[in-house]
Structure 1
């Protein structure tokens, strides 16, 4: 378990004459062994923050650390990310087993490790299948297994249920909770849906226009939201549940 921390992180795109600030001075801590839910509407900057954490977009300011040290960019990557669309993140020409095996560290019995990972995500006996032969929920489980293949201590899950049917979302959320407990993972769980975030999270951070506008224990944020935007998200969630 390791602590993921964002200190004054900003991300800007464009030229000097026309810059867009996607993330604006974010301070956020994901304590070791916990699940922090980051929630906000599309365009709020939450996915950009996630991509900055794993080095897919450069920082304009601030830093991202694991236990106070910079996130490694070479060798074993203790931070892994699961993306929104499982189909586009999997090679359609590779079997499930080969896809996961690519991420397994050298010196490991890859076949045995792939079998172990597929069992962890409740997909035994799928090693020789191709992505097109699986459902959306199964493909997302494969993407999770591949992220776990590198044995990360921190997992970033970016909108991993938004492309799934509502009937399948619950099973994937239960899987995330089980994996967090079994593997002692630190997880940053990102979603636009407050109902989804509160199901898995110990702490909730609300992001709006590139900034964190509210942050606290999940029960506190949900019972007594302080920011108008959080209250708006909560009202829309309660409206859908009626």
Structure 2
């Protein structure tokens, strides 16, 4: 478990300011849900965390250490993307993809089997290619691959948005169970507040590159302070929650 912290992070693409002076903390062992509409800057903020793009200004810290001064494997950050098919090499078996992310010296065959079981997939599927799996199964593989790197923090970027509602439920239940079982620190990004409130200890709201509200899930959901948060709440279909709770 580790703390991820953004300190006054800004990200500029030419004349576009995608992230504007954002300070946000993902406490050790907690899930922070980051919510906002498309173009709000949430995925751009995530990109600075995993080193895909350096911030124009500000710092991203893991346990107080600036990630820009660390090698990628030293950062302890793993990202799970929206489209699991594009994040997996179609020519590699899922077992090979998971093993590729493991540290050197790991007993890879046994560890692949353990990780597949952890995400509720039969280890006998290790030899399967991604094309032979459903979208939900591929997203489980992407989660297993992220865990293979033994991360301190996981960033999940819109990982259920491409899935059917019933499949979303199974994946969200898995994410919640894994987080509790492993004590993971996680930044969970979504445009859907119904998804975010299901898994999050804290919720942060972004709009036009700025952080407009942040607090415990209870505070943000029951007493939203910003009009944009109230708009997101009004648009969030609460019926999804019961569907997810029944999913397996």
Normalization by structure 2: what TM-score? 0.93
CA deviation digits over 1:98-132, x for unaligned, max 9?
11110111111111111111010011221011101
* Contact 2:9–2:23, Cα closer than 8 Å, also in 1: yes
Equivalent of residue 117 in structure 2, options 116, 119, 133: 119
Question: Are 1:38 and 1:188, in contact at CA under 8 Å, matched by a contact in 2?
Answer: yes
Alignment partner of 1:68 is 2:64: yes
**2:28 aligns with one of 18, 25, 32:** 32
| Higher share in helix | 2
2:154 equivalent to 1:158 = no
1:6-59 Cα deviation digits (max 9, x unpaired): 000000002xxxx10000000000000000000000000000000110000121
Question: Given that residues 76 and 150 in structure 1 are in contact (C-alpha distance below 8 angstroms), is that contact kept between their aligned partners in structure 2?
Answer: no
How much is the aligned-residue C-alpha RMSD, in angstroms? 1.2
SS in 2 for 1:55: coil
Counterparts in 2 of 1:238 and 1:163: CA distance versus 1, 3 Å = closer
TM-score (norm 1): 0.95
Does the Cα contact within 8 Å between 1:26 and 1:211 map onto a contact in 2?
yes
Equivalent position SS for 1:87: helix
Counterpart position of 2:189:
190
Q: Does structure 1 conserve the Cα–Cα contact (< 8 Å) formed by 2:31 and 2:186?
A: yes
Cα distance change, pair 231–75 in 1 and its aligned pair in 2 (3 A): closer
* Structure 1: gaps of 5 or more residues: none
| Cα gap change, 1:81 to 1:74, in 2 (>3 Å) | closer
Unpaired runs of 5+ in structure 2? Answer: 241-248
For 2:48, the equivalent position in structure 1 comes to 52
Aligned to 1:2: 2
Aligned CA distance change for structure 1 residues 183 and 239 (closer, same or farther; 3 Å): closer
Displacement after TM superposition at 1:181 (Å): 1.2
CA offsets, 1:166-187, max 9 Å, x none? 1100110111111111111100
Structure 2 contact 62–75 (Cα < 8 Å) conserved: no
* Distance of 1:199 and 1:41 partners within structure 2: 18
Cα offset for 1:224? 1.1
CA distance in 1, matches of 2:73, 2:185: 20
8 Å contact from structure 1 (residues 77, 150) kept in 2: no
Deviates more, 1:217-226 or 1:157-166: 217-226
Q: How far off its partner does 1:238 sit?
A: 4.2
Q: Compute the displacement of 1:74 (Å).
A: 3.9
CA contact (8 A) 2:9 2:57 kept: yes
Contact 2:194 2:238 in 1 (8 A): no
1:199-218 aligned at under 5 Å gives the runs 199-218=198-217
Going from structure 1 to structure 2, the CA distance change for 1:30 and 1:131 (only over 3 Å counts) comes to same
Q: Which runs of 4+ in 1 moved over 2 A?
A: 71-77, 238-241
